[in-house]
């Protein structure tokens, strides 16, 4: 029997590519997005790639009740085996322009929604004795603050702790919870546009190329597979090595001779 995979933010970018990757495995897909037209387009692609079945659900996950409502509604069609929380927003907001409304909008979608979705899934799975896997999509911003991104960076740092806390409490129920933290990935998102200047500044990494949605989707698939059955509470950084340290810095001193350099 095919796995039932619920993906939020499935209408574009990483969510879209993750849906297509699961489709190639013959999964049953439930795609959630605020933009129905975008999700319907992905559904057509997924069906062509071999998905068992595809269902689209429109929801604004910033709404307090929406995450649990979506999970329960989708579960009514078939128990959910995999939940991928990919929905997120990345507004550029100068620090002196921050207000409560802007802050809450980011936290509600980027942190509260995946947490409440996971709670709802765990309640249903535990009540029926089923196992499940959850993967949250974090970001390199969880480790490195950026100008104009205080709400976003904070939300991703919080999401990583929520991932660990969820894994700690749900492991005994047979529910694994992990996160994938991408580096800069080229997604050409209309919802979260970035300038080329910004992309060039944040994308350098030891492997020398920008990330692709496929890079992240492959990591998600692996974490959801039996090959990762003894892994939970982990943050898998898929960033070309960007989180290993600062790129393009000069030597902090110039040794006069090789002998001095090894002294």
Residues annotated catalytic, as ranges: 152
Tokens of 42: 């992905």
Q: How far is CA 171 from the centre of its chain?
A: 20
Cα end-to-end span (Å), the chain: 64
Tokens of 25: 């495995």
Q: How far is CA 219 from CA 17, 21, 79, 146, 241, in A?
A: 11, 11, 23, 25, 14
Choose among 109, 122, 71: nearest CA to 232.
122
Q: How far is CA 241 from CA 137, 181, 207, in A?
A: 17, 11, 7
Q: Are 86 and 40 in contact (CB under 8 A)?
A: no
Q: Regarding beta strands 82-85 and 4-8, do their DSSP bridges make them parallel or antiparallel, or are they unpaired? A: parallel
Rg for the chain, CA atoms, rounded: 20
Angle between helices 36-48 and 13-24 (to 10 degrees): 30
Tokens of 64: 């307090």
Question: For 182, how many CA atoms within 13 A lie in the half-sphere containing its CB?
Answer: 23
Q: Are 151 and 100 in contact (CB under 8 A)?
A: no
Query: How many CB atoms neighbour CB 65 within 10 A?
Result: 9
């Amino acid at each position: 029997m095919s796995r039932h995979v619920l993906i939020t933010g499935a209408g574009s970018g990483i969510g879209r590519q993750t849906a297509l990757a699961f489709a190639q495995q013959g999964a049953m897909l439930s795609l959630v997005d605020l933009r129905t037209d975008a999700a319907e387009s992905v559904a057509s692609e997924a069906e062509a790639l071999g998905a068992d079945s595809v269902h689209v659900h429109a929801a604004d996950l910033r709404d307090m009740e929406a995450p649990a409502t979506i999970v329960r509604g989708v579960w009514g069609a078939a128990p959910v085996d995999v939940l991928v929380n990919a929905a997120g927003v990345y507004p550029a907001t100068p620090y002196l322009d921050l207000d409560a409304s802007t802050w809450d909008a980011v936290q509600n979608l980027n942190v509260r929604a995946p947490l409440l979705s996971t709670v709802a899934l765990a309640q249903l799975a535990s009540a029926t004795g089923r196992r499940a896997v959850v993967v949250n999509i974090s970001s390199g911003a969880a480790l490195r603050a950026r100008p104009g991104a205080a709400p976003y960076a904070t939300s991703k740092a919080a999401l990583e702790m929520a991932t660990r806390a969820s894994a700690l409490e749900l492991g005994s129920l047979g529910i694994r919870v992990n996160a994938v933290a991408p580096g800069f990935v080229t997604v050409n998102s209309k919802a979260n546009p970035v300038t080329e200047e910004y992309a060039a500044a944040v994308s350098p990494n030891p492997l020398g190329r920008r990330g692709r949605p496929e890079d992240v989707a492959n990591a998600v698939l692996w974490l959801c597979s039996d090959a990762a059955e003894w892994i939970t509470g982990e943050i898998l950084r898929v960033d070309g090595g960007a989180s290993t340290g600062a790129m393009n810095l000069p030597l902090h001193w110039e040794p006069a001779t090789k002998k001095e350099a090894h002294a």
